[in-house]
Copies of this chain bind each other. A is one copy, B any other.
Amino acid sequence: MSGSDLDRPYRGGFAGREHRFALTVYYEDTDAAGIVYYANYLKFMERARSEMLRAAGIDQRAEIERSGNVYAVADVAIRYRQPARLGDELVIVSTVEAVRAAAVVIQQRVMRGGEEITNASVTVAFLSSDLRPQRQPREWVERIGAFAADRNDDA
């Protein structure tokens, strides 16, 4: 890498409709059982979702500052299938399953090479500054919808 590339944070990106985000397991991610602590996969997944939204053209921070509206996780169903360990290279593969007026459903898998470590279904709700459900901006729905799995572009 050149010097300027070194200073550019990695953000992952879309490969077709799949958003891919790679990371390495550091000490902070592990626990005394020698494996990634279970809550920390949710951190990995949130990093990937933040980058997926950004790659789709959505600026969460500008929206918070403008309107106070934020995305917040409404529910998660996560299955831990294999442990990951210090130094492992993982890829978070995220796909948009559904886009609704005030929520987005995202499937996220944590892969180590061809092996699935963890998978989750995450529902993210859009909330006003007083944390009530709020319609997403119309153009956000379109931008996220462009990556949705159930979208039929051939129609």
Contacts and interface: CB of A to CB of B under 8 A. Distances in A.
B43 A28 contact: yes
Nearest to A43: B28
B33 A70 contact: yes
B6 A9 contact: no
Given A10-B10, A75-B79, A38 B46 contact: yes
A83 B128 CA distance: 12
Size class of the A contact interface (CB-based, 8 Å): 35 or more
Contact of A80 (B12, B33, B38, B73): B73
Interface in A59-82: 60-61, 64, 70, 72-80, 82
Contact of A38 (B15, B30, B72, B77): B72
Interface of A: 1, 3, 6-13, 15, 20-24, 26-28, 30-35, 37-40, 42-43, 46-47, 50-51, 60-61, 64, 70, 72-80, 82-83, 85-87, 89-91, 131
